[in-house]
Amino acid sequence: MAGLWSGPAGARQARARLPLVDYSEPRPAGRPRDADADDRIIDAALAEYAAHGRAGYSLNGVARRAGVGKSSIYLRWPDKESLLVDAVHLRSEVPDVDTGSLRGDLHALVDWLLGCYLTEAGWVVVRITVDSAADGESTTSPQVVGAHHAEAVNDLWRRAAARGEIGPEDDRAVHEVTRMMFGDLIMRAMVDRERMLGLSAEARSAEAAYVVDLLLRLLGR
């Protein structure tokens, strides 16, 4: 999992390379576009990548699934990579997990991520991770697609440092714990998916609490 999740500066740079499309710019006059086309296209992009991976992901497939012309997609996104990154970010926005303690923050985030990786957007992140390991870097690398998740984790560690729960001497341990956390989550999504999908919210929360206990032990907490 080395290099999967970038630090604060790296995450911001990754998002800067491929920002969300700005819909505020004026558009040429003409027939109004379909009001729900954006959502259909976004969901179709996730479904196409989830089903086919990088090799089979195409705008033609997205257009067919969404029931729109390919030109409609180009009105909104410049290419299929921008569309995919937008789709993942918009369907997996990280909630506010500032609970006031490291344990509480970790539990809230791990519990949410366990659920997120079981969604279509989360499965796309997993597939992109596997595809990138096989094919190398692209504009839809894990660092770009998962930048908002990485930022949330880095914010968690910064809050813990400000509260005095971790110190500079913990830097290496924090890095390793972060890699282990995402590695565990991705493996659960890949090899333990059916069981995870069958868990109730309470059972998933209990599983998250167990993972957090292990992570905190690695930090000596």
pLDDT value at residue 139: 61
Q: Which architecture does CATH list for 34-89?
A: Orthogonal Bundle (1.10)
Instruction: Give span(s): CATH 1.10.357, the chain.
Output: 8-12+93-218
Q: Which residues of 139-152 are buried (b: 16+ CB within 10 A; e: fewer)?
A: ebbbbbbbbebbbb
Range from 4-8, 76-80, 114-118, 143-147 carrying the lowest mean pLDDT = 4-8
Q: Which architecture does CATH list for 8-12+93-218?
A: Orthogonal Bundle (1.10)
Q: Which tens digit of pLDDT belongs to each residue from 15-44?
A: 333 334 333 334 444 444 565 899 999 999
pLDDT value at residue 166: 92
Position with higher pLDDT, 139 vs 109: 109
H runs (alpha helix) in the chain: 8-17, 37-56, 59-66, 70-74, 80-91, 102-116, 120-135, 142-145, 147-162, 171-191, 193-197, 201-218
Tell me if 142 sits within 8 A of 3, measured CB to CB.
no
pTM of the complete model beyond 0.85: no
Question: What is the separation, in whole angstroms, between the first and last Cα of the chain?
Answer: 24
pLDDT value at residue 7: 38
Instruction: Give span(s): CATH 1.10.10.60, the chain.
Output: 34-89
pLDDT band at 181 (very low <50, low <70, confident <90, very high): very high
pLDDT band at 97 (very low <50, low <70, confident <90, very high): confident
Tell me if 160 sits within 8 A of 16, measured CB to CB.
no
Position with higher pLDDT, 25 vs 95: 95
pLDDT value at residue 178: 94
The residues, any chain, with a CB within 8 Å of residue 63's CB and separated by 6 or more, are 44, 69, 70, 72, 73
Retrieve residue 18's tokens: 């491929």
pLDDT value at residue 221: 84
Residue 11 has pLDDT above 50, yes or no: no
Position with higher pLDDT, 138 vs 130: 130
